[in-house]
A and B are shown apart, each in its own frame.
Chain A
Amino acid sequence: MSIQRPYVRSMDGWWKRNAYYVRYMAREVTALFVAAYALVLLVGVVRLSQGEAAFNGWLQALKTPLSLAFHLVVLATFVYHTWSWFNIMPITMPMMFIGGKRVQPGTITRAGLAAAVVACAAVFVIVRGISS
């Protein structure tokens, strides 16, 4: 009598098996950088509440080369997040109809990306307006 052992296929590195999964993983991993950036801002708000010296310490930390490198990586992942967010939007949102015709996936993606460009430009203009 032989001892039977069921064959269990390893799931290690499953996401590398197919380009679709790699894109899925790249998109989901951006969340780590979104969390890290939210944490940087949270620390800033907490330091702000602790007074001028504490807040200036936070500002000084932002001026270090390490912080610059970190933020450039975060910036790249945010741009990728924006691109991928609107790329999957035709799947994640309910079907949209205009004049009885289904809005094409490419149209939804392009409209979303255009909205992001406008929103980012608006933030730039508002922040410059407030600060000068």
Chain B
Amino acid sequence: MKRSNEPIFWSLFGAGGMLAALIGPALVFITGVGVPFGLFFPPDTMSYAHMLAFSQHWLGKVFLLAVIALFMWHAAHRIAILLHDFGVHAVAPIKFCCYGLAFLGTVIAGYTLLSLGS
């Protein structure tokens, strides 16, 4: 019997869903509301200098890659199933597109973070 690749994608989906559930609301508030509009956080929290330093630390790189990539894999899995729910039954092409976009996002994020140096 051919081995299923489902456990890999489901693990990425689960990890992304868990990360989003645990810290997602805090991240969205900080980057989308708190810092841009100066609520509870100094406006220069995400200044170029701060974010450059953050992205050049290995911990910052791991954090940014984990958030961006896992959120994308999580969303890709659910969107693939959503399309099926709405009557698009070409399962293989749907999965190829959804997981492919998540993969592309992961590669771009990983490459960019590496290019930012340390």
Which A residues lie at the B interface, using CB under 8 A? 11, 15, 25, 28-32, 34-35, 37-42, 44-46, 48-49, 52, 55-56, 59, 62-63, 67-68, 70-72, 74-75, 78-79, 81-82, 85-86, 92, 112, 115-116, 119-121, 123-124, 127-128, 130-132
A116 close to B22 (CB less than 8 A) = yes
Q: Are B74 and A31 in contact (CB under 8 A)?
A: yes
Determine the distance from Cα of A37 to Cα of B19 in the docked complex, in whole angstroms. Answer: 13
In chain B, positions 61-100 with a C-beta closer than 8 Å to chain A are: 64, 67-68, 71-72, 74-79, 81-82, 85, 87
Q: Are A75 and B33 in contact (CB under 8 A)?
A: yes
* Contact (Cβ within 8 A) A112 B72: no
- Bitwise interface map of B from 39 to 58 toward A, beta carbon under 8 Å scored 1, else 0: 01110111110111011000
B30 near A123 with CB under 8 A, answer yes
A contact face: mostly helix, strand, loop, or mixed: helix
Report chain A residues within 8 Å CB of B81: 28
Q: Which residues of B contact A25 (CB under 8 A)?
A: 85
Contact call B112/A49, Cβ cutoff below 8 A:
yes
Whole-angstrom CA separation of A28 from B86 in the bound complex:
12
Interface: B15 (CB within 8 A)? no
- List residues of chain B with CB within 8 A of the CB of A130: 45, 50, 54
B-side contacts of A79, CB under 8 Å: 25
Q: Which residues of A contact B45 (CB under 8 A)?
A: 127, 130-131
Query: What chain A residues lie within 8 Å of B44 (beta carbons)?
Result: 131
B17 proximity list for chain A (CB < 8 A): 81, 85
Most buried by A among B21, B30, B33, B41: B21
The closest CB in chain B to the CB of A46 belongs to B112
Known: A28-B82, A85-B17, A112-B21. A55 touches B32 (CB 8 A): no
Tell me, yes or no, whether B4 is within 8 Å of chain A by CB.
no
Q: Is the CB of B28 within 8 A of A127?
A: no
Q: How far is the CA of A31 from the CA of B75 in the complex (A)?
A: 5
What are 8 contact pairs spanning A and B, CB under 8 A? A31-B77, A35-B79, A41-B64, A45-B112, A59-B46, A82-B24, A85-B17, A120-B23
